[in-house]
Amino acid sequence: MKILVLNGPNLNMLGIREPDIYGKSTYADLCEMIEAHAKETGAEVEIYQSNYEGDLVTKIQEALGVFEGIVINPAAYTHTSVALLDALKAVAIPAVEVHISDVSKREGFRSISFVREYCFATIAGHGFAGYTEAMDMLMNAPGKRI
């Protein structure tokens, strides 16, 4: 299975940004873990991070006909981006929303997620492991694989 892993703004600052919330592991550590899990499970994975909403929309659009699943951590765009939701709907690729922290236990605005309307599952508060859980969910979900 070919999976696109998308990360939104400030995730490139993992290990530096609010380590009490996100931990001390870096974005490079996260990428290594995802790639190791892909190798272990036989999945093909591409990991992409951008601080720009339009770049993420373009990457979703470019996934059409290339990827069979999307793991998306929209980060701050979770709460603001109808554009990401519309892009996911347009390509109709099965997707799982991931958040490193438990957004339901943070500021009230973080409980709002536009992309959740499209994603068939959300994993929040499982740290980096949420990404591998999402990959497994995509690979094992009946009827979700194209």
- Here the CATH number for the domain that contains residue 76 is 3.40.50.9100
Confidence of residue 75 (pLDDT cuts 50, 70, 90): very high
Q: What's the average model confidence in pLDDT over 81-107?
A: 88
Is 62 domain-assigned?
yes
Is 146 domain-assigned?
no
Query: How many structural domains is the chain composed of?
Result: 1
Q: Which of 27, 77, 99, 131 is catalytic?
A: 99
| pLDDT tens-digit readout, 109-144 | 667 788 999 999 999 999 999 999 999 999 997 655
> DSSP readout, 102-128?
-GGGS-GGGG--SGGGT-SEEEESSTT
Active site (annotated) includes residue 99: yes
For residue 7, which of 84, 66, 119 has the smallest C-alpha distance? Answer: 84
Domain of 8, in residue numbers? 2-140
Strands of 43-141 (E only): list them.
Answer: 44-49, 69-73, 95-99, 121-124
| pLDDT tens-digit readout, 17-61 | 777 776 788 999 999 999 999 999 999 999 999 999 999 999 999
Q: Which of 22, 77, 118, 131 is catalytic?
A: 22
Q: Give the per-residue pLDDT at 145.
A: 43
Active site (annotated) includes residue 22: yes
Angle at 38 between CA 13 and CA 143, to 5 degrees: 110
Is 145 domain-assigned?
no
pLDDT at 106 over 80: no
Q: Give the per-residue pLDDT at 1.
A: 95
